[in-house]
Amino acid sequence: MSGPLTGIRVVELAGIGPGPHAAMMLSDLGADVVRVVRPSTPESDYAMTSHVLRGRTVVFADLKDAGDVARVRALVARADVLIEGFRPGVAERLGLGPGEFTVDNPGLVYGRMTGWGQTGPLASSAGHDINYISLTGVLDAIGPAGSPVPPLNVVGDYGGGSMFLVTGILAALVERHASGAGQVIDAAMLDGVGALTQPINELRAMGVWHDGRAANLLDGAAPFYRTYACSDGRHVAVGAIEPQFYALLVAGLGLDAADLPDQHDRSSWPELAATFSAAFGARDRDHWTGVFDGTDACVTPVLGFAEAPTHPHVAARGSLVAAGPDVVAASAPRFSRTPGRAAEGTTPRVRALEEVVRDWGG
């Protein structure tokens, strides 16, 4: 076991989505993470196969059984962090709310992961990533002009959810060194996505961002910041915003800048996009990959998940690793002295709850 969080003990009350993802990142960073799963449920099957559960110990406990709850509480009493993703009030009803540990474990960092947060009119309502990003303005800004398109749930669940939960946990652990006290973290995907939008809100305040879709520099409207189809039906991504990068894009496409409208003339963007589209569409994706490889034109192939691990740069860093038919992501970020765990495959260790309690000093 290695990583900057070596020695930190985490108990994760099993759930899906950002909670397990946050626990995965803590495990990748070296923490000892124990996932408590209810037996004889579909989730117990999920617990045995999910890639996100790497590096974990799995124990089974019936949280409606007083004896099992007592054993889980004994485990949490010796933990540094607890992660739960229930609706507000559920953990308290199970006898596992933060108030249960203020005496036995006053230094516990109690991480709560929800979509809407612990308070507010929607706190007890169901929701998914698409709902959380719809109320923050993000969904309205993604997709073609005619209709919003939900992105992968990396935006709400993981960008706005698990990443902010991990940030809160790490901050609380640092603060505990000074105070000796733990605290409760209310991590809401709604709040996290809102924080992620701050740069766009700034652009709106400056008057350089227009509400709606396909109308701005970074939402696909600009001909030099979008994707293009190639002759083989695959795509390239173009991000040539700066003038020096744009010049390399134009040259690589075999076009004469003198024949093109000004890069930042919005009225000419449709014409310029049509020109670029015709050029990219004349050859296959790998041709353009070769043309722009090693240049600063900011043109890259759009790779599928299966292709991504084979890209020379991705492979050199080991960012994504092919494991048979599967793709496994390496731990991130990287550290100079205390490297996190390497990807350990997809199967967590299964142990008896009593054994883990005993090993943790119970």
Write out pLDDT tens, residues 247-289. Answer: 999 999 999 999 999 999 999 999 999 999 999 999 999 999 9
Catalytic, 21? Answer no
Catalytic, 62? Answer no
> Do the Cβ atoms of 33 and 14 come closer than 8 Å?
no
Catalytic residue among 32, 80, 129, 157: 157
**How far, in Å, CA of 346 to CA of 53, rounded?**
7
| Largest CA-CA distance found in the chain, in angstroms, rounded | 78
**How far, in Å, CA of 158 to CA of 19, rounded?**
9
pLDDT of residue 41: 64
> Do the Cβ atoms of 276 and 231 come closer than 8 Å?
no
For 125, the 3-state DSSP assignment is coil
pLDDT of residue 161: 98
Q: For the chain, which residues score pLDDT lower than 50?
A: none
**How far, in Å, CA of 275 to CA of 223, rounded?**
9
This prediction has a pTM of: 0.94
**How far, in Å, CA of 245 to CA of 240, rounded?**
5
Catalytic residue among 128, 210, 235, 287: 128
For 45, the 3-state DSSP assignment is helix
Segment 195-244, tens digit of pLDDT = 999 999 999 999 999 998 999 999 999 999 999 999 999 999 999 999 99
pLDDT of residue 299: 98
pLDDT of residue 51: 84
Q: How far is CA 212 from CA 132, 169, 176, 228, 355, in A?
A: 18, 35, 44, 21, 56
pLDDT of residue 44: 59
